[in-house]
Amino acid sequence: MAAIPSAAGNEILPIRVLPIDLVEDLQRVQKAAQRITSILDLDQLIDSVVNEVAHSFGCLEAGIYLHDEERGDMVLAGVRGCSVHGKGHRLKIGREGMVGYVASTGQTRYAPDVRKDQYYIGCEKSTLSEVAIPLRVDDRLVGVFTASHPEVDGFPRQQLRILQALCDHVAVAVDNARRLQSERAERAAMDREAQEARAIQQALLPKSSPYIPGFVVSGLSVPARAVGGDWYDFIPFPDGRWGLVLADVSGKGTAAALLMSATRGVFRSLAEACCTPREVLTRLNQLLVDDFPAGKFVTMVYAVLDPSTRTVVFANAGHLLPLFIDDQGEHFLDTERGLPLGLSCGDYSETQVTLSEGSRLVFYSDGITEAVNGDEEEYGLCRLAKHAVKIGASAVTIIDDVRSFANGSGVRDDASVVFVGVGR
């Protein structure tokens, strides 16, 4: 045996030479651990582990049981060499087999002769020895690894230690892969739910623009996320008038969409009673003050268009001022009274405007005016007015212009437009 001098003096100390087979086993484990920790797909990881161990250690059979916390048992997630049990086979913790014993105690169990082990459950007839090793992360049971051998005492002590060391890596890798799999499943479920919610919300919007001789009326709403808090509608009345509404709930996403859906239902029932815009918003506000969560509110502009007189009467509940363009230029139409809906009780005033030939009336949400380009410059009211006056302008062309301006940099909020144009 080789020797080296000690640090304390000239004493000669022997160098411990590791057996060749042990060195080879350690090298195989190191390489296996490197491969295992790089795999993120759970099924691929487990298949790689059982095949790697079975091949490297001459096992008759290798498998991994995972802990099913919901059902409180162990489920076979991957196996090689077993002709009796396949994926999905279950064992009760503490009651069935060496796997059940190890899962309940957290201790490795080795049966050098399975014929003499009280916990062993017969599987392959040629199996004579078996080991079951717990897979744990921070004292939390992840699973159990098993390997069987066709010889009595088929796993020497050094191999058992190597397998236990490998299982420490396997436990972490499996736990990470399961977490990733769970997160992906949750994300996929959320995406499906979001798409279903989007489809439902889109179904609540008008299917088409109203046909009103002498007028061009259009609307469009584009949520910043899958669903949003903007909403618009066209409501026909029996006397030929039309109700035009655009609203914006505070906040974004699912919460805003739910509040908007509730608001829409109540508003519809009030508007179809043919009340004036002021009466509709006053009554709607009274209902929402009682129902809305604290801090939540809706801004809304509601107008009634009378094509026969070319007049529009509207009330505004804290919404952005409507843009009116006629021969005299651009005007932002204000009302005397009009708090956002749902904050506190109050009444609403009305404003009337006459639509001359070639005039334009635009209701819009802040997702339009606050869209930004790469230089953090906002789209703003001036660009909105400049586009609205163009021949062929509509709700669709306005939102297209906003998107072109933002160029992918940011429509930060739900963007909605109701556009009314009068022909010449």
pLDDT at 16 over 80: no
Distance of CA 131 to the CA centre of its chain: 42
Of 107-121, 172-186, 195-209, 381-395, the least confident? 195-209
Q: Mean pLDDT throughout 185-213?
A: 84
The arithmetic mean of pLDDT across residues 364-384, rounded, is 92
Instruction: Look at residue 4 and tell me whether its pLDDT is greater than 70.
Output: no
Q: Is the pLDDT of residue 390 over 70?
A: yes
pLDDT at 1 over 50: no
- 109 vs 148: CA distance, rounded Å: 12
CB count in 10 Å sphere of residue 90? 14
Of 106-120, 193-207, 383-397, least confident by mean pLDDT is: 193-207
In this prediction, residue 413 carries a pLDDT of 80
The residue that leads in pLDDT, 305 or 193, is: 305
Residue position matching structure tokens 């708090």: 339
Report the C-alpha gap between 133 and 155 in whole angstroms.
13
* 310 closest CA partner among 248, 275, 256, 358: 358
CA distances from 134 to 74, 137, 142, 172 (A): 12, 10, 8, 12
What helix, strand, coil percent values describe the chain, rounded to 5?
A: 35, 25, 35
> Looking at residues 229-253, what average pLDDT do you find?
91
Please name which of 143, 117, 141 lies closest in space to residue 130, comparing C-alpha atoms.
117
Mean pLDDT value of segment 258-274? 87
- Give the whole-angstrom CA distance, residue 298 versus residue 229: 9
Are the CB atoms for 258 and 229 separated by under 8 Å? Answer: no
Q: Tell which wins on pLDDT, 110 or 293.
A: 110
Q: Is the pTM of this model over 0.85?
A: no
Strands laid side by side in the 298-306 sheet: 230-236, 242-249, 298-306, 311-317, 351-354
Higher pLDDT, 51 or 216: 216
Tokens matching residue 14: 């022997």
Average pLDDT over residues 60-69: 92
pLDDT digits (tens, 9 = 90+) for 99-141: 999 999 999 999 999 999 999 998 888 999 999 999 999 989 9
**Residues listed for the chain:** 424
Tokens of 157: 């002590």
